[in-house]
């Protein structure tokens, strides 16, 4: 599963009052994509507004353009200070994909992002793999300096969601394909995801799941070989058998081109292999090698064994003396 969080960062609420129709935008732009991706994973979507949340990096002022610039090498330093304010990953059991809309404070407006070559980024946004993306949304300055503050801002959600959906595709490995001119690609349409792209995603996840199961079961077999006295319960063994059978079924379905069936089988295999590997009865701390057993029990039984051994030795000596004494004859 994945949790998708849309966050509006307003570091200067005294200067800007920002309104965004995030619920309508999610229903209009994001929901069709997630409905189609529901075959791959489960999704939950939430949103939040954070005030006085700054990027943590001071932009550079450019006199020629009378604007502030964020260079490409400073972008990695933006994520950590912002992530500390999000708080979404602390209470989540699944990976969180963050999409941040940042309205620059008045003293740093307008703010633009530069690429590695120093050219301005057309979308004024960037993304971080496995984390999410950030878009800078500049607000037009008031016509007169004496304009009343705060300035009311209505966010153009179509322009914002266009960027966020492109970043969502990149996070799932759905980049734009470069094809020869004579090739004709299916349009993703309003759903933002073509059928052939979904097939490619199912195939990639199926292969990844099969590799994960193979690694997990190999590690489990190495653990069992290393600890000879480990106890394998029937439920653990059944999970391993189910994982192997599901992997074989996934490989068969994949060779036949049944991508959805292969993906479901590979997902079941991952679940079974993880259950078997992380079963509490297979914790290596529950089982000791023989040398550790001797090291633990000898200090306990040695004080009791010494008097017993001395008593046995005394009994043996007395028995031998009795046998050597001649019998008396009347």
pLDDT by position in tens, the chain (length 330): 889 999 999 888 888 888 999 999 999 999 999 998 888 888 999 999 989 888 878 888 888 888 888 888 888 888 888 888 887 666 677 888 999 999 988 888 888 898 888 888 889 999 888 889 999 998 876 655 656 778 888 889 999 999 999 999 888 887 776 778 888 877 777 677 888 888 888 999 999 999 999 999 999 888 888 877 777 888 889 999 999 999 999 999 999 989 999 999 999 999 999 999 888 887 765 566 666 667 777 888 888 888 888 888 889 888 888 877 665 565
Is the preceding peptide bond at 150 cis, omega within 30 degrees of 0?
A: yes
- The pLDDT of residue 62 is 82
Whole-number pLDDT of residue 271: 93
HSE, side-chain direction, 13 A CA sphere, residue 216 = 22
Estimate the crossing angle of helix 259-277 against helix 234-256, to 10 degrees.
160
State the pLDDT at residue 110.
87
* pLDDT at position 94: 84
Q: Give the pLDDT confidence score for residue 239 in this predicted structure.
A: 92
Residue 89's pLDDT is: 60
Kindly compute the dihedral angle of the four CA atoms of residues 294, 296, 302, 305, in this order, to the nearest 10 degrees: -70
pTM of the model: 0.75
Other residues' Cβ atoms within 10 Å of the Cβ of residue 122: 9
Extract the runs of DSSP E, i.e. beta strands, from 71-186.
96-102, 111-113, 125-128, 132-136, 151-154
- Write the CB contacts of 148 (distance below 8 Å, at least 6 apart in sequence): none
């Amino acid at each position: 599963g994945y949790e998708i969080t849309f966050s509006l960062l307003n570091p200067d609420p005294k200067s800007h009052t920002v309104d965004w129709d995030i619920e309508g935008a999610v229903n209009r732009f994001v929901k069709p994509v997630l409905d189609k991706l529901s075959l791959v994973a489960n999704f939950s979507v939430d949103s939040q507004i954070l005030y006085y949340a700054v990027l943590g990096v001071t932009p550079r002022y450019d006199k020629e353009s009378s604007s502030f610039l964020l260079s490409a090498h400073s972008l990695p330093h933006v994520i950590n200070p912002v992530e500390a304010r999000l708080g979404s990953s602390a209470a989540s059991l699944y990976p969180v994909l963050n999409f941040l809309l940042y309205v620059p404070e008045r003293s740093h407006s307008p703010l633009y992002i530069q690429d590695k070559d120093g050219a301005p980024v057309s979308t004024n946004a960037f993304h971080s793999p496995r984390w999410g993306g950030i878009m800078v949304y500049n607000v037009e300055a008031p016509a007169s300096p004496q304009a009343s503050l705060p300035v009311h801002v209505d966010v153009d959600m179509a322009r914002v969601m266009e960027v966020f959906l492109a970043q969502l595709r990149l996070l799932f490995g759905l980049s734009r394909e470069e094809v020869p001119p004579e090739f004709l690609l299916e349009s993703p349409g309003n759903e933002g995801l073509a059928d052939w792209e979904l097939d490619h995603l199912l195939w990639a996840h199926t292969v990844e799941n099969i590799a994960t199961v193979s690694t997990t079961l190999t590690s489990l077999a190495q653990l069992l070989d290393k600890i000879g006295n480990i106890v394998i319960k029937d439920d653990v063994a059944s999970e391993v058998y189910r994982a192997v059978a599901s992997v074989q079924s996934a490989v068969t379905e994949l060779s036949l081109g049944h991508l959805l069936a292969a993906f479901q089988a590979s997902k079941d295999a991952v679940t079974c292999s993880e259950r078997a590997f992380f079963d509490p009865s297979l914790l290596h701390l529950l089982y000791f090698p023989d040398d550790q057993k001797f090291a633990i029990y000898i200090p306990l039984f040695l004080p009791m064994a010494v008097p017993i051994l001395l008593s046995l030795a005394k009994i043996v000596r007395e028995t031998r003396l009795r046998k050597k004494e001649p019998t008396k004859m009347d």
